[in-house]
Structure 1
Amino acid sequence: MNSRTLAIYDTESGYAKGLLQYINGKQNIPFKTVCFTNRELLVEYLENNNPDILLIAAEEMSMEIDKSSAKKIIILSKGSIPFDYSEYTSIYKYQSMESIIRSILEILADDCQKQDFLEPERDRAKIIGVYSPINGAGQTTFAITLGEVLAQKERTLYVSMKEFSAINKLTGERSQGDLSDLMYFYRQNPQSVSIKLQAVIDNIHGLDYVPPLTFFQDLRNIESKQWADLIEKMALSGLYEIIIVDLGSVLSNIFQILDICDTIYTVIREDIISKAKMDNYEEFLLRNDNDSILQKTIKIKLPAIDEAENMGEFFEKQLWGKIGDYAREISKNVAW
C-alpha cells in the first residue's frame, strides 16, 4: 500500500516527530512518511525526490518550496496562512492527529477522483454476513461483538446495512463521513475506493467500522448490486482479512448481498412466531433457487444480552460478557 510519499516539514520538532510517529503507528496508511525539521535537509531531499504530498507549516512556506518538486503541497495552518499561498489546501495544525490524517486522506481521495487512478486488487477478505428474518434477535450486538473478537487476531471491518444503526449513538462518535459518502466516491472512481475508506472509518475496541448511513433510504434507492460491488471492492482492497456485513431487510434485494458472503450467521429463537418466520424465509430461498445461501448459513442462538448502565459502556459490557464468550467460541470456526 505504501506506494506514495508524504513529507512533513515543521521546525517545531516535537510536533513534527510526534506526527511522524503517530502516522507510522497506523496500519494501512497508503504512503510512506519522511520528516524534516531543517530547511537545508528538506531542500536537498526535494532536489532528488518527488514526494506526493508535502505537509508544511504555514510560516515555513517560501518561493523556493513553492517551486519544488512536491506534487502537492498542504499547509499546516495555525488559523491563517500567508496571502501569497492562500490558494493552497490547508489543514488546521492543532487538531487531533487522527483528524489530520483523515483530512490528508480526504484530499488524496479527491485528487484520485480527478484523475485516472488504478489501485491493484489484492487477496480478497473473507465476507461474513449476519442476517436474521427475526426482528429484535440481538443480531447487531452479536455482529459487532464478533467483529471485536476477530479484530484481536485479524484486521476486521464492520459494515452496517441496517435502516437504523445504534453504533454511533452507543459510541458517541461524530463521524466525518459515512457509507453514503463511500458509495458516492465508489461511483465516481471505483478503483481508488480504499483511499476513501481509510478516510471515513472509525474504530471501537480495535474493530474498524464504516459509519452507518444518515439517510437509510439510500439502502433501498441504490441497487443492491451496487452495494454488493462496493463490498467486494472493499474486500479486494488489501486493507482487511475479514469484513462483517450486518444486514437489514430494507435493501431492494438482500439476496444479492447474501450471495457474496462466504459465511452467513443467522440468529434464531425458539418461540413459535420466530420459528414460523424462519420457516417462511427458508422456503422462500428454496423456491427462488437461493439454496446456496442456505448451504453457507449457520444458525445461532444467542445468550441473553448483558445490561449496561449507559450507552458508552454497552459494547465493552458485551465483549466481556456472555455474548463475548459466545462470539469467541464462534470465532474458532472462522477460517483465516
Structure 2
Amino acid sequence: MKKNIFAVCDLEVEYALNFMDYLNQKKNIPFEIQAFTTVENLITYGKHTHIELLLISGRAMCKEIRELDIGKVIILSEGVHPPELDQYPSVYKYQSSSDVLREVMACYGAEKKTMSDQLAVLKKTTEILGVFSPLGRCLKTSFALTLGQILAKDKAVLYLNLEEYSGFEELMGRGFDHNLSDLLYYVRQDNQNLLYKMNSMIQTVNNLDYIPPVQMPADIRTTAWQDWERLLQMIMLDSSYEVIVLDIGCGIDENFQLLDLCKKIYMPVLSDAVSQCKIAQFENQVRIWDYPQILEKIQKISLPFHMVTEPSPSYIEQLPWSELGDYVRNLLRKEKG
C-alpha cells in the first residue's frame, strides 16, 4: 500500500524546500511528502491525487484549494490570518521544524478515530534492542543514547528511557510539555489515536527520536505489564520505526517479560567483585523465573571510561564523536561480521 500524501505549500520557496528536506530526513514520518511553492501546482496535483494532510500558508489558501479532496487542512500561520481561515487549525510558522511537525501531528490526530484505515506504513520488521544492567554507574544510558544516534544515521530509531530517575530535563536544561507519563495515560485509556499522540511528543537529537522520560518514578512502578506490551506493539505494528532502543531500569516488576521481547540485550558490566556478584544474582533470578532464553540474548560489554562532570545540553549530541562512540561503531562492525 502507498503512503498517504502530506503536502506542504508555502509561497516562500526556501522555507518550503527546507521544511520538506527536514521531513524527508525523518524516517518515521508515515506519509509521502510533497512540497509546493505555487498555488497552481498544488491545485493541479490535488485534482488527480488525494491529499490526506495539507499544511499551507495562510497567504496561499484560496477557494479552489477548499474545493479539493483533502483529508485535513492546517494553516501555516505567520501570526495573523484572515477570519475566514479560523475554521482551520493553525501552527505558527516561525518556530523550529521539529516543533511545527509535533503540532501538525497533534492537530491531525485530534480528529482521527482509527489508525489502521488512515495510515499505511511501509517499513521493515521492527527490532527491539535492550540496554540493561543490574549495576549502577556503568554508563548504561550513555551507551544507549550513543547506540541510538549511530543507528539513526541509517534507520528510523526510537529511544525509550524506562528508568525511574533519568535526569533528562536536568541534563537537557529544559522542560518538556509532554513525556512518557502522558503517553502511558493514553495507553491505559485505550486511545485509538495512540500513534498520533506519540508523534506529537517526539523530540529529536542527531536524527534519533525519543519521548521525554517520566518525571515521577511512580509512573514507572505503577504501569502494568499489559500497558508496556500494548505500547510496544503499537510502535512495532503501526509506526515506521525500524529499531526501538529500550533503556531499561530496575523499577519495572515485569522486567523479564520486557527483556524477553528484545532481539538483543546489551549489558554494561564492571570488573570489581561486588559488581560480579550482582550480575551472578541477576542471572540466577533469570533461571529461577524460567527465562533462560534471556541469557542467550545478553551481550556483556565493558565500556571505556567516560566522565563528564558538568551537565550540558550538548552532552548527548557529542556522544557519537566520543571514545564511547568509537566503541559502539566497532561493536556494530563486529556484529555485522
Q: TM-score, normalised by structure 1?
A: 0.85
Do residues 139 (structure 1) and 140 (structure 2) align?
yes
CA shift for structure 1 position 15 = 3.3
**Residue deviations 1:213-253 (CA, integer Å, cap 9, x gap):** 23332212221232133224323446333322111111131
Aligned amino acid, residue 150 of structure 2: V
Distance in structure 2 (CA, Å) of the matches to 1:321 and 1:42: 46
Unaligned regions of 5+ residues in structure 2, if any? none
Q: Which residues of 2 match residues 21-170 of structure 1 at below 5 A? A: 21-112=21-112, 114-115=113-114, 117-118=116-117, 119=119, 122-170=123-171
Distance in structure 1 (CA, Å) of the matches to 2:292 and 2:155: 30
CA shift for structure 1 position 261 = 0.8
Distance in structure 1 (CA, Å) of the matches to 2:300 and 2:14: 53
- Give 1:247's aligned residue: 248
What's the secondary structure of 2:129's corresponding residue?
strand
Distance in structure 2 (CA, Å) of the matches to 1:95 and 1:263: 38
Q: Which residues of 2 match residues 166-185 of structure 1 at below 5 A? A: 166-172=167-173, 174-185=175-186
Equivalent pair of 2:114/2:193 in contact (CA under 8 Å)? no
Aligned amino acid, residue 76 of structure 1: L
Equivalent pair of 2:157/2:244 in contact (CA under 8 Å)? yes
Aligned amino acid, residue 93 of structure 1: K
Unaligned regions of 5+ residues in structure 1, if any? none
Do residues 258 (structure 1) and 254 (structure 2) align?
no
What's the secondary structure of 1:326's corresponding residue?
helix
Aligned amino acid, residue 126 of structure 1: E
CA shift for structure 1 position 158 = 1.8
Equivalent pair of 1:124/1:241 in contact (CA under 8 Å)? yes
CA shift for structure 1 position 186 = 4.6
CA shift for structure 1 position 273 = 2.5
What's the secondary structure of 2:135's corresponding residue?
coil
**Residue deviations 1:227-286 (CA, integer Å, cap 9, x gap):** 133224323446333322111111131111111011112222233322222222222221
- Give 1:279's aligned residue: 280
- Give 2:325's aligned residue: 324
- Distance verdict in 2 for CA 1:78–1:271, change over 3 Å: same
Distance in structure 1 (CA, Å) of the matches to 2:30 and 2:134: 39
CA shift for structure 1 position 27 = 2.7
**Residue deviations 1:91-147 (CA, integer Å, cap 9, x gap):** 1122222322222222223333x2463456754222111111122222112222222
CA shift for structure 1 position 176 = 4.8
- Distance verdict in 2 for CA 1:44–1:252, change over 3 Å: same
CA shift for structure 1 position 298 = 1.9
- Distance verdict in 2 for CA 1:235–1:65, change over 3 Å: closer
- Distance verdict in 2 for CA 1:189–1:58, change over 3 Å: farther
Equivalent pair of 1:91/1:100 in contact (CA under 8 Å)? yes
Distance in structure 2 (CA, Å) of the matches to 1:132 and 1:230: 22
**Residue deviations 1:297-319 (CA, integer Å, cap 9, x gap):** 22222231133655234335543
CA shift for structure 1 position 289 = 0.9
Distance in structure 2 (CA, Å) of the matches to 1:132 and 1:15: 45
CA RMSD of aligned residues (A): 3.0
State the aligned residue count: 335
What's the secondary structure of 2:70's corresponding residue?
coil
- Give 1:10's aligned residue: 10
Q: TM-score, normalised by structure 2?
A: 0.84
**What percentage of aligned pairs have identical amino acids?**
33
Distance in structure 2 (CA, Å) of the matches to 1:18 and 1:241: 25
What's the secondary structure of 2:313's corresponding residue?
helix
- Give 1:20's aligned residue: 20
Distance in structure 1 (CA, Å) of the matches to 2:310 and 2:16: 41
CA shift for structure 1 position 163 = 0.8
- Give 1:233's aligned residue: 234
